[in-house]
Amino acid sequence: MLQATAALDTMTDNLKQNKVLVLGVDERAALSVIRSLGRKGITVHQGSDYVGSVCRYSRYNSKVIEFPKAAKDPDAWIERLIEVLKAETYDLVIPTADNYLVPMAKNRDRLESLAKLAIPEERGFEYTYDKGKPFELAESLNVPSPRSVEIDSMENLDEILKDFSYPIIVKPVSSKVWQKNQRHKMDVSLVKDREALEAKLNRQLTVCPVLLQTFHSGVGVGQYFLMQEGRMIAGFQHQRVHEPLKGGGSSYRKSRKLDEEFKVHSLNMLSDLKWTGVAMVEYKQDLKTGDTVLIEINGRFWGSLPLALQAGVDFPFLLFQMLVEDKLPENFEEGKGVPYKENVYCRNFAKDFDWLKENFLAD
């Protein structure tokens, strides 16, 4: 009888299926997470605030749950999320964009009792949401960084500019800012003269403070990590092959071996934050001289996630195993993460066509 009961319990456990809520609509991060988890037999529901989301049609998406627009009404979006989490049990909730991560982080006290959340801890969120904070951290840990000055008005601009030469990077302290329950999307810009700088500042300073940064030539290099309380579980690196002339997401990338020098810098920062979950540390590297500076830290899944998956690092499933099952990868090696293929290329054809047009028309 005891053997039969044990066998029945085992069968029951095997029939139990883990369930994850993925919050996101884009074809890169959100769809990649849905596919990754669905292929492992995990039931995936998508929380969507956009009817045109391609994720709706994935064979691995078991259910689409409608949400109000997070960008237009984050309060209504959070109330809907709470309603969903009370109605259905999820093993993990994964936001794949700032639209969803930011309101979740700001309402963690209302959400954490309802489900396990794949979001940074409070200090980690502070140091990734505010774009000026990573450079404070970098300076304290001797991580090479561009000269940065945060301003909230046009006062003393002449004095500040004495330490800069054009072109100058203009970076809002957050890429997404909510004012009076309305979201403002704030873009990073490269300005070439005083007139362009003042025009940009006059628009952006009405919404949030801005960082002025020295420009460093080179290509974008991203180091991705899965961390457990500041310890590296998995790592990956990509290099941008094609990227917009004025900044923004790249359209063509390749996988590279983790640069050991800058892996140390990345891990020093993430370890200081006692980071748990996924993060991307982005640098700008001059391929001729090797000079490299920090660009930013993102505390969520990234648009180039398909490249990491194709190269062999299944970040979404590794995250699920770590947070839900308390498991580490079978091929995990302390200090090295998991192996992956180098020189794997990944292209977004629509964005790459825009890159081609932009370069054809460039001066």
- Assess whether 258 and 355 both reside in one domain: yes
- Assess whether 167 and 224 both reside in one domain: no
- Assess whether 353 and 228 both reside in one domain: yes
CATH code (residue 32): 3.40.50.20
Judge residue 5's burial from the number of C-beta atoms within 10 Å of its C-beta, 0-12 exposed, 13-18 middle, 19 or more buried.
exposed
Question: If pLDDT is split at 50, 70 and 90, which confidence band does 269 have?
Answer: very high
pLDDT in the model for residue 59: 97
How many structural domains comprise the chain?
3
- Assess whether 316 and 255 both reside in one domain: yes
* pLDDT tens profile 279-317: 999 999 888 888 899 999 999 998 889 999 999 999 999
- The angle formed by the CA atoms of residues 299, 120 and 98, to the nearest 5 degrees, is 50
- Assess whether 180 and 256 both reside in one domain: no
* pLDDT tens profile 216-268: 888 889 999 999 999 999 999 998 887 776 666 777 889 999 999 999 999 99
135 within a domain of the structure (yes/no) = no
- Assess whether 241 and 298 both reside in one domain: yes
- Assess whether 206 and 331 both reside in one domain: no
Contact status, residue 93 vs residue 105, Cβ threshold 8 Å: no
Q: Which residue has the higher pLDDT, 192 or 356?
A: 192
Average pLDDT over residues 188-197: 88
Domain edge (last residue) among 180, 214, 248: 214
Asked whether the predicted pLDDT for residue 332 surpasses 80, the reply is no
Asked whether the predicted pLDDT for residue 4 surpasses 60, the reply is no
Asked whether the predicted pLDDT for residue 7 surpasses 50, the reply is no
What 8-state DSSP symbol labels residue 334?
T
* pLDDT tens profile 334-347: 778 889 999 999 98
pLDDT more than 70, % of the chain:
91
Average of per-residue pLDDT values in the chain: 88
Question: If pLDDT is split at 50, 70 and 90, which confidence band does 97 have?
Answer: very high
pLDDT in the model for residue 277: 97
- 159: Cβ–Cβ under 8 A, 6 or more apart, which residues? none
28 within a domain of the structure (yes/no) = yes
Its pTM stands at 0.87
Locate all alpha helices (DSSP H) within the chain, ordered by sequence. Answer: 2-15, 29-39, 74-87, 98-106, 108-111, 122-129, 133-140, 157-161, 194-204, 260-272, 305-311, 315-324, 349-361
Task: Show the domain range for 192.
Answer: 147-214
CATH code (residue 158): 3.30.1490.20
Asked whether the predicted pLDDT for residue 164 surpasses 60, the reply is yes
Average pLDDT over residues 41-47: 98
Q: Which residue has the higher pLDDT, 225 or 132?
A: 225
Question: If pLDDT is split at 50, 70 and 90, which confidence band does 13 have?
Answer: very low
- Assess whether 165 and 187 both reside in one domain: yes
Strand-pairing partners, residue 172, are 210
